[in-house]
């Protein structure tokens, strides 16, 4: 049993050095199921709007709002949920975000006008934003030192399965002849199932021991969790002194916030711009292709390029490091987009285009898409970790909104070459910002990675 004024560091050390346990797996699975839903719900709208365009006679402006509204509301959701988690605790709000996802998905399926669908997509997005902030923080604060990046990355990489599930389900419905007016409703409604499956589990998850001990000084409430995770009895641990409360605007946190928020924004401009608008991009490339053909093409790209990229990032992030994976991914994305923009033959030959496009997808995943999710959960002190993560995720979703909202206009007015040129510049800026603003938290205890000794 640990006692005395130095107990806090000893407890953290026990958590950092703990073997990977059943409790770790449970945390990853509960958090990861939400990310499967997030990806499905966010990206299925691209196929839904392609179906609805002739049925509801959607304009370019309608497409811009339908493809991007949930991304804009997720920005607000990430910041609100992140801040509440700092003020009230991680457990207090975890699970509410998947309730919002469930309700929003069901109501979206019963929409009868564009603006009804926009409203319910906003509700879905608010829940998605809350999931981004909550799941990353809870996973990082339960994690051990050697597997922390892998744990957080695994949660996020469930997004890849959701990305694949969307076009796969859409292709199945279209191929089996389900009427289009029913198919799009089923696509949206199915997003409620995985979200609903984890509502109870998330509402019953225990408060993270790091928050309970550091912010509240409640050793008793943390003891059961620490025992389950690390096998250490901390019932008598106490906090005799408190350090000065951290503020995001103090050094070094403001520079880190610039790095986490800015890199995530730039990455999501590219990722969601190309992902949500994949049907528009593929139509520009193959104007004669059917909806089923373009949907299957999108699914094939996700399967061949995106899925391996996610899981390679998970395997390598605790060995190679977050920072190197992130800036290198940005650079290769910039090169791929640049090739498409500058070489007409790449755009003229669909097979060549799709190959280069797939390379960009692979290095988005084995690159900044995974690491921008990991970084904010590690580099801010516990009492402001929710706000730092929420602002970073919200900034990413602002970039996602900008990418999805503007992509139809870029394609229309600048063509494929001009659009890819913009994405190349965006990606290069992401690499430079990563190198300038972000530290490497690989292998460090969470409190050292977060520079909690500075306050």
Amino acid 235: pLDDT: 59
348 exposure class (CB count in 10 Å sphere: 0-12, 13-18, 19+)? exposed
pLDDT, tens only, 50-72 = 889 999 998 888 888 887 888 88
Select the more confidently predicted residue: 238 or 204.
Answer: 204
Amino acid 427: pLDDT: 96
pLDDT band at residue 38 under the 50/70/90 scheme: confident
Distances (CA, A) of 59 to 55, 108, 122: 11, 19, 19
382 Cβ contact list (under 8 Å, min separation 6): 141, 210, 211, 214, 215, 447, 450, 452
pLDDT (average), residues 356-361: 86
Q: How many CA atoms lie within 13 A of 276 on its CB side?
A: 32
pLDDT band at residue 352 under the 50/70/90 scheme: confident
Amino acid 377: pLDDT: 96
Least confident of 1-10, 41-50, 276-285, 376-385: 1-10
pLDDT, tens only, 258-308 = 999 999 999 999 887 776 556 556 666 667 667 677 777 777 777 888 889
pLDDT above 70 covers a percentage of the chain that reads 88
Amino acid 2: pLDDT: 41
pLDDT (average), residues 310-329: 96
Amino acid 278: pLDDT: 61
Q: % helix / strand / coil in the chain, to the nearest 5?
A: 80, 0, 20
Q: What angle do CA 121, 138, 128 make, to 5 degrees?
A: 5
Does position 376 have pLDDT exceeding 70, yes or no? yes
pLDDT band at residue 1 under the 50/70/90 scheme: very low
Least confident of 37-46, 147-156, 172-181: 37-46
> Is 453 in contact with 289 (CB distance < 8 Å)?
no
pLDDT band at residue 399 under the 50/70/90 scheme: very high
pTM value is 0.87
Mean per-residue pLDDT over the chain, rounded: 86
pLDDT (average), residues 83-106: 93
Amino acid 163: pLDDT: 77
Amino acid 284: pLDDT: 61
Amino acid 401: pLDDT: 84
- CA 274/CA 71 separation, integer angstroms: 14
Amino acid 3: pLDDT: 41
Amino acid 231: pLDDT: 66
pLDDT, tens only, 168-223 = 888 888 888 899 999 999 999 999 998 898 899 899 888 888 888 888 877 677 66
> Is 366 in contact with 309 (CB distance < 8 Å)?
yes
Does position 315 have pLDDT exceeding 70, yes or no? yes
Amino acid 288: pLDDT: 66
Least confident of 150-154, 190-194, 241-245, 443-447: 241-245
28 Cβ contact list (under 8 Å, min separation 6): 139, 151, 154, 155
Does position 4 have pLDDT exceeding 50, yes or no? no
Domains of the chain in start order, with CATH, are 7-454 (1.20.1250.20)
Amino acid 241: pLDDT: 42
């Amino acid at each position: 049993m640990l006692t005395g004024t130095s107990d806090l560091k000893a407890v953290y050390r026990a958590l950092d050095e703990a073997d990977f346990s059943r409790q770790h797996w449970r945390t990853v699975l509960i958090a990861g199921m939400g990310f499967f839903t997030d990806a499905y719900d966010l990206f299925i709208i691209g196929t839904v709007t392609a179906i609805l365009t002739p049925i509801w006679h959607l304009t370019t402006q309608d497409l811009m709002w339908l493809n991007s509204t949930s991304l804009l509301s997720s920005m607000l959701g990430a910041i609100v949920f992140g801040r509440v988690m700092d003020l009230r605790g991680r457990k207090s709000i975890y699970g509410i975000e998947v309730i919002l996802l469930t309700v929003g998905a069901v109501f979206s399926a019963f929409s009868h006008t564009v603006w009804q669908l926009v409203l319910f997509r906003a509700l879905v997005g608010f829940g998605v934003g809350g999931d981004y902030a909550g799941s990353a923080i809870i996973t990082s604060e339960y994690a051990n030192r050697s597997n922390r990046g892998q744990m957080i990355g695994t949660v996020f990489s469930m997004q890849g399965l959701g990305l694949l599930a969307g076009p796969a389900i859409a292709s199945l419905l279209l191929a089996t002849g389900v009427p289009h007016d029913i198919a799009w409703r089923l696509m949206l409604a199915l997003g409620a199932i995985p979200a609903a499956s984890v509502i109870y589990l998330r509402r019953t998850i225990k408060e993270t021991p790091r928050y309970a001990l550091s912010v509240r000084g409640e050793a008793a409430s943390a003891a059961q969790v620490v025992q389950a995770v690390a096998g250490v009895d901390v019932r008598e641990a106490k906090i005799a002194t408190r350090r000065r409360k951290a503020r995001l605007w103090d050094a070094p946190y403001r520079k880190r916030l610039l790095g986490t928020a800015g890199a995530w924004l730039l990455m999501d401009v590219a990722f969601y711009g190309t992902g949500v608008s994949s049907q528009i991009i593929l139509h520009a490339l193959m104007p004669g292709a059917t909806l089923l053909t373009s949907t299957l093409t999108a699914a094939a790209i996700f399967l061949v390029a995106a899925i391996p990229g996610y899981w390679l990032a998970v395997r390598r992030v605790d060995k190679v490091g977050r920072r190197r994976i992130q800036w290198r991914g940005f650079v290769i994305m910039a090169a791929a987009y640049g090739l498409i923009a500058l070489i007409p033959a790449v755009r003229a030959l669909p097979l060549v285009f799709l190959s280069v496009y797939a390379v960009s997808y692979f290095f988005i995943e084995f690159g900044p898409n995974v690491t921008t999710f990991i970084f904010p959960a590690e580099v801010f002190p516990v009492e402001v970790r929710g706000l730092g993560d929420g602002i970073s995720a919200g900034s990413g979703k602002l970039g996602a909104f900008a990418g999805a909202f503007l992509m139809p206009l870029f394609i229309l007015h600048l063509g494929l070459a001009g659009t890819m040129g913009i994405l190349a510049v965006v990606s290069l800026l992401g690499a430079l910002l990563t190198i300038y603003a972000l530290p490497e938290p690989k292998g460090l205890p969470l409190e050292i990675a977060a520079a909690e000794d500075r306050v």
